[in-house]
Structure formats: C-alpha cells, structure tokens
C-alpha cells in the first residue's frame, strides 16, 4: 500500500474511533446513574428498610390534575446507540477492505509498468506483438519521405509494445518505455538505440532527413527483429 493509501486508512480509522467514542459518551449519559445501595448488617434495620408507600390515584391527582408517571427512555437510547455502533463498525470494515484492495491493485499496476511479472502471473509477450507487426513497420519505413517514414516506423513499434498491455511509468515517455522493454527482451541495444535516435532526429530536427538515414533505420530494424527471432515464440514474461 502506498503512502497516500496509508494516510487515507489512518484518517478513516481515526474518524471512526472518534465517532465511536462520542456515541459511547452519549449512550452513557442517556442511560443515567444506576445505584444499588445495600445497607451493611450493622445498620439500624428499622431505619434502612424504611419504604414509602406508592402514591394512590387520589394522591397523584390533586386539584383535578393528574400527572403521568415519567417514562424511562434509557433502553430506547441504548438500542439506537447499539445499532449506530454496528453500522459504524461495518462501514469502517468496508473502508479498510476497499483501501487494501486499492493498495494491492496499485502495487500490481506498478509492477506491470516496471516490466516485472507478479508471482504466478506472466506478462504479455511483447516480442510476439512486435514480430506480428513487422510487415507494417517495414512498409511504413519504405513509404513517403524519409522523415515521415522513420517517424511512422517508430510509432508502429511503440504501438506494438503498448498493444501487449504495458503502460508507461509516470516519469517516462512511450519511446523510453519501448526502449526499456525491448532491452529487457535482449534486443540488440545498439540497434534499438540507433533506431530511437533516428526517430528523434526525424521528428524534432529542422535539417534535412536523407535517404541514407532511411537506409540506416531499415538496417537497425533488421537487427531488432533478428534479435527477437532468436527468442522462443511462446511468451514467458519479461526477463528480470
């Protein structure tokens, strides 16, 4: 669970404990004092055991006015407080479970973005996705001006990596993700670095992009796919 989730969990727990404390205080106040005094054996029985006779109907009604006996609502307040306490407890439990699930989901997502398979779970076979789009990458590289062709080829390479279900980290670009993931697959690092450099030059530079640069990009793409072909076709997750 990350720091934000821990803070949210602490806030929920503190708020719940405060609410429970307030309800207990209200419950205790509504119940009122309950004293059961028993005299010691040495007290004067005639004094201690003095009882008062209940008022008769005639005594309770004076001057034509009858006073209704006071009702003891402490039991009702106790039931209500118990129900509220149970509801608060269930709410806190649900909040804790939700936060734990969110923390676990975030942890797994970070592992996937980092190219690390969680225990018992294989990452998608990025190499297979890149190989399947090889024809499209070569077609893009041979079509149009050298500048547009190199950019289009790299974009298709990025799309192949992303289509395998991987997402970028918060601090990296899709180009950096493509380079990082392919490097984990043992792709010729010089080739992927060269192809990425040609892409950045074609996209961001103002000078002319020549046919020789297109040829260099084709050569780099050949080496990338040659590296991927040396890997088994079945996916086994990104190597660590």
* pLDDT single digits (tens) 12-23: 666 666 666 666
Please tell me the predicted confidence (pLDDT) of residue 90: 81
Give the model's pLDDT for residue 235.
Answer: 43
Residue 78 and residue 27 in contact, taking contact as beta carbons nearer than 8 Å: yes
- 136 and 166 inside one domain: yes
Instruction: Specify if 174 maps to a domain.
Output: yes
Q: Verify that 132 and 98 share a domain, yes or no.
A: no
Domain match, 167 and 202 both: yes
CB 10 within 8 A of CB 103: no
104 and 135 in a common domain? no
Query: Is residue 18 a part of any domain in this protein?
Result: yes
> What is the predicted pLDDT for the residue at 107?
58
E strand or H helix at 29:
helix 3-31
Lookup: tokens for 197: 């450099």
The low-confidence residues of the chain, meaning pLDDT below 50, are: 35, 37, 47-48, 114-123, 233-240
Q: How is residue 219 written in tokens?
A: 């050569």
CA–CA dist 77, 72 (Å, integer): 10
Q: pTM of the full predicted structure?
A: 0.47
- Please say which residue of 113, 142, 161 terminates a domain: 113
Give how many domains the chain has, as a whole number: 2
Q: What is the pLDDT of residue 102?
A: 74
Residue span of the structural domain in which 146 resides: 126-229
Which residues are within 8 A (CB) of 166 and not within 5 positions of it... i.e. 6 or more apart?
A: 112, 113, 115, 123, 124, 126, 177, 181
Q: Do 137 and 178 reside in the same domain of the chain?
A: yes
Q: Torsion angle of alpha carbons 117, 192, 224, 176, nearest 10°?
A: 30
Distance between CA atoms of residues 66 and 184, nearest Å: 92
- Residue 66 backbone dihedrals phi, psi, to 5 degrees: -110, 130
Within this chain, do residues 89 and 130 fall inside the same structural domain, yes or no? no
Same structural domain for residues 91 and 157? no
d(CA 60, CA 34): 25
Beta carbons within 8 Å of 77's beta carbon, 6+ residues apart? 26, 27, 30, 31
Whether 44 maps to a domain, the answer reads: no
Q: Are residues 146 and 103 in the same domain?
A: no
What is the predicted pLDDT for the residue at 70? 61
196 and 149 in one domain? yes
Q: Does residue 236 belong to any structural domain of this protein?
A: no
- pLDDT reported for residue 35: 47
Domain stops at, among 61, 84, 113? 113
* Residue reference for tokens 């670009």: 173
């Amino acid at each position: 669970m990350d720091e934000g989730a821990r803070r949210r969990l602490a806030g929920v727990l503190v708020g719940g404990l405060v609410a429970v404390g307030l309800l207990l205080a209200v419950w205790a106040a509504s119940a009122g004092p309950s004293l059961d005094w028993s005299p010691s054996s040495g007290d004067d029985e005639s004094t201690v055991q003095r009882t008062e006779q209940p008022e008769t109907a005639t005594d309770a009604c004076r001057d034509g006015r009858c006073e209704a006996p006071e009702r003891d609502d402490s039991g009702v307040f106790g039931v209500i407080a118990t129900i509220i306490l149970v509801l608060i407890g269930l709410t806190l439990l649900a909040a804790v479970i939700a936060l734990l699930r969110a923390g676990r989901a975030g942890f797994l997502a970070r592992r996937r973005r980092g190219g690390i398979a969680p225990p018992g779970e294989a990452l998608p076979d990025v190499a297979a996705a890149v190989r399947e789009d090889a024809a499209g990458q070569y077609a893009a590289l041979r079509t149009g001006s050298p500048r547009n062709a190199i950019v289009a080829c790299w974009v298709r390479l990025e799309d192949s990596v992303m289509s395998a279900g991987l997402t970028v980290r918060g601090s990296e670009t899709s180009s950096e993700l493509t380079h990082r993931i392919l490097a984990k697959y043992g792709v010729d690092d010089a080739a992927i670095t060269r192809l990425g450099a040609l892409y950045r030059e074609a996209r961001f530079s103002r000078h002319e992009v020549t046919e020789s640069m297109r040829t260099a990009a084709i050569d780099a793409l050949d080496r990338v796919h040659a590296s991927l072909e040396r890997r088994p076709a079945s996916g086994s997750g990104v190597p660590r």
